[in-house]
Amino acid sequence: MKNKKGFTIPELLAVIVILGILITISIGVYNGISKRLKENNLNTKIAYFKEKALEYASEENISDETISLNYLLKLGYVSAEYPENPERERIGNPLTGGFLDCMNFTITKDLDNYTATYDLEGSCDLVDQETTMEEISIEKYIKRDNTYIKITNEWVNEPVYLLVKFLNINKYQVIDDNFNYTIGGNETNKKGIYCSNLTDNDNPLENCYNVNIVDTNYIYNNNIKVRMNLKNNTGDNKAFKISREALIKIDKALPTVTIDYDNRYTTGSIKITLNGNDSNGSGIAGYYFGQTKPENDDIFSSENIYAAHSNGTYYAYTKDNAGNISLEQTINVDNIDRTGPDGFVSSYGRSKWSIDDFTFTFGCKKDNKTGCANEITYTITDITDNRNKVLANNVHLNTPQATYTVTAPSNDYVTTVTLKYTIKDNLGNEEKYGYDTPIKINTYIDRVVPKMKINYSKSADRGFLWRLKGYNFYFNMSIEHIGPSGIGTQGYTKSFNSANDLKNYTNEQLNRYFTTSGSYHVYLTKKKKATVIGRLVSGSGSVYYDSYGITGRGCTNYLGWTVGGAIIGAIFAPGWAIIGGLIGWGICNAS
């Protein structure tokens, strides 16, 4: 059997010493690691709180201010770590195990950039002051129609009244009844009485130390600061200084507006773009564009794109967020073209009959915007005696105007034609003329050859001496065919060089007597109204004759009958012709 032997006392002491050393080393290492973890946790918290402090400064538009973490907690920028426990609605310090209530941040502003530094230990006096600040507010008002209207942080274009109010005026005493105001860089001290409301005093600006006014001729966008010396009437009755700030935004500068639009011709609408500028003011709130001036503010819109649907004068305005309305800008839109060009007809006809053709020109006269296009389509119809004969049907030409000649066939006439035509401008706008109400053109062309018949007879002796005896020959002229222009002249002549006018005589008066021998010619001309026509047609004139001959025999006391030949184609005068005749009768008279 072996003897069992344990540690000796010296050996046991040595083991205990070694274990103690190891434990000591382990505890030191652990504490070092734990401290670093706590420091990292604290630094993470501080970085987060710093960002929240900057967020507060930006949203509240503060300038320079020192705030506590407790204040950010009350404002809701950070959250309590133990919200379920009212007594511990605070933020813990992971490094010390305490709380960070009195930690504060000092915020400074350089132009639009904020920076923040922190004091971990801070001062709990600041927390007390912030608690007091929560009980003091600055209310802002504008005055309209003798009524004070409360505002917040919106832009206005009129003076702003300040009212510094205490939640409980009995809790604090204002030392010397004096407030110090910093407005626009200028400091003023104001004494007086405390007014709970602006209507508590007939002249609050003059009599109340907690009432002031901010005004400007242009733009004011800054904080005002009110400093006061207070004494707490409760607790330790300790005196302290406190300040409050309020953001005031006044804009009395008028915004400006410019108008951009496309001035090219169009058949549609014109796009209008309004550009507003308010410089450093309250910013553009809305626009107005229309053909009448705005009647109220409600018609301003945030949209700056409009359309002009018709030509005319348009008005443009812009309004800023303070309610200022720009000066009026106008444009005259005249490049919308939805109508075709003006047409014309060179002549609507003549008032006298003629054997001539009739020529007229028609088409585009002018287009005040894009000009006449090289395009015309027309139809011309002969409506003489309801013929409705189409002379030109939908003729299309690549010219802005057209010329047409109306003619009448031989032995025919044309009194009236109708015209309808279509022209365009260079935008394609079309204008039709003569489609609703036909355009009538009076041509009065008459080429009908007249026909007449002349009967005559011999009368009894006149009853004078034999050598003076003669015979009366009586004429009767009858018109068989004359055409629409009617009778121009009638007459008789003994020679080819002279004529006696008979147009004013009746048929009975046309019966004439003759006592000398010779050839007599009765003639008829056509007329337009009361005007004789005399143009040659195919080498012949427009005066036509039916003639007979009275031929003397050169004998004495001879009475007898002879037949004269018909005179056909004889020339009466230059340019005039005889076109037919009947068998004449001849007599022999005493010589």
Write out 25-53 in H/E/C secondary structure. HHHHHHHHHHHHHHHHHHHHHHHHHHHHH
Q: What's the topology of domain 256-333?
A: Immunoglobulin-like (2.60.40)
Check whether 502 has a pLDDT greater than 50: no
C-alpha to C-alpha distances, 222 to 182, 215, 225, 245, 250, nearest whole angstrom: 11, 12, 10, 10, 9
Is residue 174 a contact partner of residue 220, using CB atoms and an 8 Å limit?
no
Check whether 559 has a pLDDT greater than 70: no
CATH of 130-251 given 1.10.3470, 2.60.40, 2.60.20, 2.40.50: 2.60.40
Q: Cα 521 from chain centroid?
A: 79
Two tokens at 231? 């004494």
Question: β-strand 580-581 against 543-550: which pairing, if any?
Answer: parallel
Domain boundaries, the chain: 39-122, 130-251, 256-333, 342-447, 451-567
Which of the residue ranges 435-449, 453-467, 541-555 would you say has the lowest mean pLDDT? 541-555
Which of the residue ranges 55-64, 92-101, 108-117, 343-352 would you say has the lowest mean pLDDT? 92-101
Domain 342-447 coded CATH 2.60.40.1930: yes
Phi first, then psi: what are they for 122, rounded to 5°?
65, -165
In the predicted model, what is the mean pLDDT of residues 288-305?
Answer: 90
**pLDDT tens figures, 450-468:** 766 555 554 443 343 333 3
Confidence of residue 420 (pLDDT cuts 50, 70, 90): very high
Coil, helix or strand for 286? strand
Strand partners, 154: none
Confidence of residue 197 (pLDDT cuts 50, 70, 90): very high
- Looking at residue 4, its pLDDT comes to 47
**Identical fold, 130-251 and 256-333:** yes
- Looking at residue 98, its pLDDT comes to 66
Better-scored residue on pLDDT, 320 or 134 = 320
**pLDDT tens figures, 1-18:** 444 455 577 766 776 767
Burial of 201 (0-12, 13-18, 19+ CB in 10 A): middle
- Looking at residue 112, its pLDDT comes to 73
Two tokens at 588? 């022999």
Confidence of residue 109 (pLDDT cuts 50, 70, 90): confident
Which of the residue ranges 52-56, 89-93, 479-483, 576-580 would you say has the lowest mean pLDDT? 576-580
Strand partners, 414: 445
Coil, helix or strand for 88? helix
- Looking at residue 386, its pLDDT comes to 95
Strand partners, 573: 576
**DSSP letter at 127?**
H
